[in-house]
Chains A and B, each alone.
Chain A
């Protein structure tokens, strides 16, 4: 019960914080619209206009990932700057539990990206929003967002020891977009990248969302999102403990 209360209050608090950050709003709304616009014109110029919804969903997921990534990278760093990281580490609940709601809130903000690109595509490019399995789409989107949030939690834990977390965030944005095949099929990528794609929740998430919208099997990729999300949660519990212990031992938690 206490854990649930912590998750609820942490989630609400962080949602308010990121809601007032213009950087976050640009990342979650403006940037996906920019990428969606470029992708729309690229597909249109290639003469494959039937794939505009495909591009729209992919650009939306790019925004979900960016928001999760920058949120996770920034989460520890901002706490460090504000001097509240030590308080979180000293609090009785585990550090993973303290930061779980923050990570979920970051990923939730990413849903703005999906909404923004779908509305943008509909209003500006006339992309038809006819989903083959509307209810499965409604189920797939939050499941993917939570899966990404949990993956973000693993990343956040590594940033406890890493001073330049934001630079690492910058670096991971494009590779995950590419390896997950958010705006193109991963079959275009070299064969050796396939296992990397399979290990990424965004890959399964976009497959589930795409199949829910355009047709195809949804439950199997959705199951993989849930499975990888649960694995991320378990892993983050361990990594948070390791990195927190290492930071305490070296007295480098604040890294100042």
Chain B
């Protein structure tokens, strides 16, 4: 048990350090601090031109949707980078339990997603004059956390696919795009065709965005309990699915000797 906890916390921490040793501040700041603010501005202005919703609608939607970038890319990189540095093989022949090994890597990714979403919300709101009271922030924090967790679950699925598909960055970009369309970040599900709304409801972030909008408009956390529960459930489903996919592809890659193929 102690070993599993050590792998979970220490392994996750080292993996995070390794990831951001590569992703220096020169990459971190443009990609995860400045770009989400510009994404918020772009959609807020398109919204103004289209005669759509309020600025707050786009600030909240895009801040949370952008957390998918760190959640998807960073989670996938934890496996893709191991392959790049040829350490994936030694990692997978180690006796370490897979559950603490991979979930430990997810923990810093969730924290990162949370920070990116919160900062984007703050900075985007500041520029566009969308102010949230201290109490709103206190209610928003758990919503952002659940959304980041849920999206990291999808990141785990993406990471698993990365054991088979080599173009992980392309795949992550496609997932980010899918979330941009279907999560309701810029167009409410009620204004999308039924089949698109159904897909949106099965994706991470959708319920989180809806809950965050409600909370930012002054609703209590209790009133969005259902949405948060669904978001968390989706996160658990994707995490479990991702974990089993990793196990499946690990076995497959051993069988077909394709683990280190780049």
Contacts and interface: CB of A to CB of B under 8 A. Distances in A.
Interface stretch (B27-35, B75-83, B153-161): B27-35
Interface of A: 22-23, 26-27, 30-31, 34-35, 37-39, 41-48, 51, 163-164, 166-168, 170-171, 173-175, 177-178, 183-185, 188-189
A189 B42 CA distance: 11
A188 B174 contact: no
B47 interface: yes
A29 to B, nearest CB: 11
A46 B51 contact: yes
B38 A184 contact: no
B220 to A, nearest CB: 28
Given A26-B170, A171-B30, A178-B38, A183 B191 contact: no
B170 A171 contact: no
Interface stretch (B101-109, B180-188, B211-219, B236-244): B180-188
A171 B39 CA distance: 10
Interface of B: 24, 26-27, 30-31, 34-35, 38-39, 41-43, 45-52, 167, 169-170, 173-174, 177-178, 180-181, 186-188, 191-192
A178 B40 CA distance: 11
A256 B203 CA distance: 41
A51 B50 CA distance: 9
A163 B25 CA distance: 12
Contacts of B49: 43, 46, 183-185, 188
A43 B52 CA distance: 7
A41 B187 contact: yes
A23 B169 contact: yes
Contact of B173 (A31, A44, A51, A163): A31
B46 A184 contact: yes
Contacts of B45: 178, 184, 188-189
Contacts of B47: 42, 46
Contacts of A178: 38, 41-42, 45
A34 B180 contact: yes
Given A42-B186, A174-B41, A37 B181 contact: yes
A42 B187 contact: yes
14 contacts: A22-B167, A26-B173, A31-B173, A34-B180, A38-B186, A41-B187, A41-B191, A42-B47, A43-B50, A45-B187, A164-B24, A170-B35, A173-B35, A183-B42
Contacts of A164: 24, 26-27, 30
Ranked nearest first, the 8 interchain pairs of A and B with the lowest CB-CB distance are A174-B38, A46-B50, A184-B49, A46-B51, A171-B30, A34-B177, A164-B26, A167-B27
B189 to A, nearest CB: 11
Contacts of A26: 170, 173-174
Contacts of A189: 45
A46 B52 contact: yes
Given A23-B170, A34-B180, A188-B49, A171 B34 contact: yes
Contacts of B39: 174
A175 B37 CA distance: 10
B177 A31 contact: yes
A163 B26 contact: yes
Nearest to A58: B46
Which has the most chain B C-beta neighbours within 10 Å: A45, A48, A177, A185?
A: A45
A38 B187 contact: yes
A143 to B, nearest CB: 25
Contact of A174 (B35, B167, B186, B191): B35
